[in-house]
Structure 1
Amino acid sequence: MFTRIGLFLLTNLAVLVLASVVMSVSGVNPSQMSGLLVMAAIFGFGGSIISLLLSKFMAKRGTGAVVITEPRNPTERWLLDTVARQAKAAGIGMPEVAVYDAPEINAFATGANRNNALVAVSTGLLHNMSEDEAEAVLGHEIAHVANGDMITMALLQGVLNTFVIVLARVVGGVIDSALSGNREGGGRGFAYYIIVFVLEMVFGLGATVIAMWFSRHREFRADQGGASLAGRQKMIAALERLKLNHGQSTLPTQIAAFGIAGSTAKKLFLSHPPLDERIAALRASTVA
């Protein structure tokens, strides 16, 4: 985890240094530049870290997931035993295991620490999947935890947020100066704030495309991880079952990218690759 944080802190610093150079060339006042860089780092990066730290709490609250402390039936006992076995094989601590009430076939993993995560499955999954298929889905989620995907996604989003905040204000300042000429007093006009607002939406859209591209990439890795833990044919069977029963995910936005099933948005904004592509990738893999 600390290696990832260090890497993304360096990336974030590089973004800020680049913005500093651009702003200097653009003639931005050094005191304004320093304040903007600090503000961008706090709001861009800090917000993502806070969201990561609160992810388990928010996921439980958002889905109504109930953590299994003492198994009440054979299904819950099987869930705990399967997750424990897979977590040990993946080299991570035992996650909390929960069930949430939803008709869709879905599951998700979240948490700020790979040794203190949460894996939750829907009642729809338990009712509509065989044990082999459910085992593969659990393996997929355990792979997300073992790969540190929640941490990486949060840090990536932090860097992108910082970039959006800085770039919108740099470009907004340049446009405002070009439109206003030598404004009396040298301050920013009302138009500057409108321009920045519009630019934040535009650049934010681009940042979302980048984040979703990475999200789709890690889904292939998690499928490979699920195949390694449960078996390739079980993972393929689970994805084929999802394809037959696929519907719109009802997971809250902040954890939707970590579900086994994705949304039906346009491809650039998909958090998950199309199921056909995921199945084809597994069929072509060398995992047993």
Structure 2
Amino acid sequence: MWFVAVNATLLIGIIWVGAVGLFAPVIGIGGAFLSLLFAKALAIRAHGIKLIEPMNPRSGAERELLDMITDLAGRAGLEHVPAVGVYASPDLNAFATGTNQKGSLVAFTDRLLEELPAEEIRAVAAHEIAHIANRDMLAMVLLQGAINSIIIAIVVPISFMRFFVDSSDKYGVMLDGLLWLLKAALALVLTFLGSLLVKAFSRRRELRADALAARLCGSGSMIAALKSIDRDTAIIPRAQLGYAAFKIAGGSSWGEWFSTHPSMARRIANLDSLPHGPVEG
């Protein structure tokens, strides 16, 4: 799927811009990969995450959390155990990030660890482990990079056209202005449509992560955790909003089409159709 998307981007670049179009995928996908490369470090800084040292946990609770993540990672088939961290925040939340499985991180809010029962914490952890096992961060980057590349490949030719417009008379000035407006309109519309596509993919990956979490710890525990999170009235702090798409709870008040997450009702209904106990093997 991603191979087709990248090659389609290359083809569009060549048709519209000639050899220069080859740089569109480099810029679009390269920029997206750079964001993924620094995602873990930036997330730690943005949230003030305190990492738990695997060989030197500060408490019994930290040791239990590490053991839980290690067990879930093994059950999910991960070759490397993710780093584990905790950050101060008023909301009940958690997220996973990282360039690959080896460099991944699972982080929890301190309030979630303090207030949710152990089986619900395990369900939340399983959901985040599922994102890592499914390579969701990489998939999101590839999709966003392909979209960026297509937008660049379509918009750049219009900028080139403006170089050939004679602006010495009023008709040239008008044509130049029209080309600028066309470029701006296309960029805005394509970016908006691209964001809807990314959000739709994000909603799908949330359902897939829920399903794998249900296999790891049972859909009953996952449903209970989602209900607890849904009852929470605290909102994600403004400084952390850029990471909302990667958290277990991060919906939009504008409706599901504009949200990175399905509604809690939809997620719970989807889980309710699955076996309520963990699937062995």
Matches within 5 A, 1:238-257: 238-250=225-237, 252-257=240-245
1:72 corresponding residue in structure 2: 58
Between the two proteins, what is the percent identity of the paired residues? 35
Deviation at 1:217, TM superposition (A): 0.3
Match among 5, 15, 34 for residue 11 of structure 1: 5
- Contact 1:40-1:162 within 8 A present in 2 as well: yes
Deviation at 1:196, TM superposition (A): 1.7
Q: Do structure 1's residue 285 and structure 2's residue 274 form an aligned pair?
A: yes
Deviation at 1:206, TM superposition (A): 0.5
CA distance in 2, matches of 1:57, 1:145: 17
CA distance in 2, matches of 1:262, 1:38: 36
Structure 1 residues 71-109: Cα deviation after superposition (integer angstroms, max 9, x where no partner): 212221111010000011111111000001101000000
2:251 corresponding residue in structure 1: 263
State the secondary structure of the residue aligned to 1:120: strand
- Assess, with a 3 A threshold, how the Cα gap between structure 1 residues 275 and 175 changes in structure 2: closer, same or farther: farther
Deviation at 1:176, TM superposition (A): 11
Deviation at 1:129, TM superposition (A): 0.8
Q: Runs of 5+ in structure 2 lacking a partner? A: none
Match among 153, 157, 172 for residue 144 of structure 2: 157
Structure 1 residues 3-43: Cα deviation after superposition (integer angstroms, max 9, x where no partner): xxxx524422212313533x3xxxxxxxx5322x1332222
Aligned pair count reads: 268
The TM-score with structure 2 as length reference comes to 0.86
Q: Please give the root-mean-square deviation of Cα atoms over the aligned residues, in Å.
A: 2.7
- Contact 2:95-2:247 within 8 A present in 1 as well: yes
Q: Runs of 5+ in structure 1 lacking a partner? A: 1-6, 24-31
CA distance in 2, matches of 1:131, 1:260: 17
Amino acid at match of 2:76: A
1:33 corresponding residue in structure 2: 18
- Contact 2:90-2:234 within 8 A present in 1 as well: no
CA distance in 1, matches of 2:160, 2:274: 50
CA distance in 1, matches of 2:26, 2:85: 33
1:56 corresponding residue in structure 2: 40
CA distance in 2, matches of 1:287, 1:133: 13
CA distance in 2, matches of 1:10, 1:219: 23
- Contact 1:248-1:264 within 8 A present in 2 as well: no
The TM-score with structure 1 as length reference comes to 0.84
Match among 71, 82, 96 for residue 95 of structure 1: 82
Q: Do structure 1's residue 218 and structure 2's residue 205 form an aligned pair?
A: yes
Deviation at 1:53, TM superposition (A): 1.0
State the secondary structure of the residue aligned to 2:223: helix
Match among 45, 48, 71 for residue 85 of structure 1: 71
Amino acid at match of 1:163: I
CA distance in 2, matches of 1:212, 1:175: 34
Structure 1 residues 266-285: Cα deviation after superposition (integer angstroms, max 9, x where no partner): 22220100001100000012
- Contact 1:168-1:203 within 8 A present in 2 as well: no
- Contact 1:176-1:191 within 8 A present in 2 as well: no
State the secondary structure of the residue aligned to 1:72: coil
